[in-house]
Amino acid sequence: MSDDALDAAASSLGDRLHEPPEIFIVLGSGLGGVTDAVEAAVSFPFTEIPGLPPSAVEGHAGRFVAGRLGGRPVLIQSGRYHAYEGHPRDVIVAPVRIAHRVGAESLLVTNAAGGIREGLAPGTIVAIRDHLNLHFVSPLRGRVRAGEIRFPSMTEAYAPALRAHARRIAAELEIPLEEGVYASLAGPTYETPAEVRMLRTLGADTVGMSTVPEVIVARARSMRVLGFSLVTNLAAGLGEGRLDHAEVMEEGRKGGRVLGRLLREVVRRWNEIGAPA
Ligand code: HPA
């Protein structure tokens, strides 16, 4: 999408909002239940925004929900565009560019992931400390977009102050919270067991098929980023049997309730975060 098309999309989205969002929240597979906690919600499919196609994956609703979560104005993307659906890179990251245009200064991103590191069993929530971009292509390729940096630093791409905030709140709620490195592959196959061994050697703790493009664009726009993986399965070859999308979705729904509780409190107490580093 061109900068003009993104401006038009932002204007259309802005017309539907009661107030500018502070935080843009992207919900991964099976995690859509978080939107139930949004007060005074307005909800509309992606396709109501000019230039945005439908997102087709089962379990990804493909809607924006705007309102207040824990009293704070948020815009939620429930369902996302994935590279494996064949969407151009520009489309995958358009919601981040549009959300920033309507006022969101932070990105809170979630995904379902396979657990690679020992101890990351299904149901574990992992705060993303860093990532491996194994799509081998950047959504920033091409002309520099309005409001973006040519060579963004990816050191501390996931803001340590936001992660510290999440850790504090998780401890208070007695929700176990791990930290780890998220490897994003283009999919749509799940990994082979050999690929999982390779990823472990590379330093990955979790593996999925999303998130990294959105985070790269958020950093190019100097948005602060907090990311969570919900482990829905042991990565290929580490557990019994084969991976199955239906099981991933079911685990997402179960663990999503706990992650939803954490997200809500993290957002409600956003003002307790230290100054940006
Ligand atoms: N691999 C890739 N993507 C995933 C997985 C996985 O094991 N689980 C959920 N999304």
pLDDT of residue 275: 59
Measured from the Cβ of residue 172, the count of other Cβ atoms closer than 10 Å reads 10
pLDDT digits (tens, 9 = 90+) for 156-193: 999 999 999 999 999 999 999 999 999 999 989 999 99
The CB of 255 under 6 Å from ligand 1? The reply is no
Catalytic residue among 61, 84, 148, 247: 84
Compute, in angstroms, the gap from residue 220 CA to the centroid of ligand 1: 26
Ligand 1 centre to CA of 214 (Å) is 17
Q: What is the mean pLDDT of residues 229-250?
A: 85
**C-alpha to C-alpha distance for 247 and 254, rounded to whole angstroms:** 11
Q: Quick one: pLDDT band at residue 107, thresholds 50, 70, 90?
A: very high
**114 CA → ligand 1 middle, Å:** 4
Sign of CA dihedral 179, 182, 188, 193: negative
Rounded CA-CA distance 4/15 in Å is 17
CA 60 to chain centroid, in Å, comes to 13
> Among candidates 236, 219, 145, which has minimal Cα distance to 183?
236
Is 184 a known active-site residue?
no
CA dihedral 204, 207, 209, 212 (to 10 degrees): -40
Question: What confidence tens digit (pLDDT) does each residue in 242-266 have?
Answer: 777 887 777 777 778 889 899 999 9
Q: What's the pLDDT tens digit per position in 135-166?
A: 989 999 999 999 999 999 999 999 999 999 99
Can you say whether the dihedral through the CA atoms of 170, 264, 218, 136 is positive or negative?
positive
pLDDT of residue 277: 46
**Residue 125 pLDDT greater than 90, yes or no:** yes
Out of 191, 199, 205, 249, mutate this one to test ligand 1's pocket (max ligand atoms within 8 Å of CB): namely 191
85 is annotated as an active-site residue: yes
- Nearest CA residue ID for atom 10, ligand 1: 113
35 lines ligand 1 (CB under 6 A): no
State the distance from the centre of ligand 1 to the C-alpha of 68, rounded, in angstroms: 30
Mean pLDDT of the chain: 91
Active-site pick, 204, 209, 220, 235? 209
Ligand 1 contacts CB of residue 94 (under 6 A): no
Q: What is the pLDDT of residues 34-81, one digit of tens each?
A: 777 788 788 889 989 999 988 865 555 588 999 999 899 999 998 888
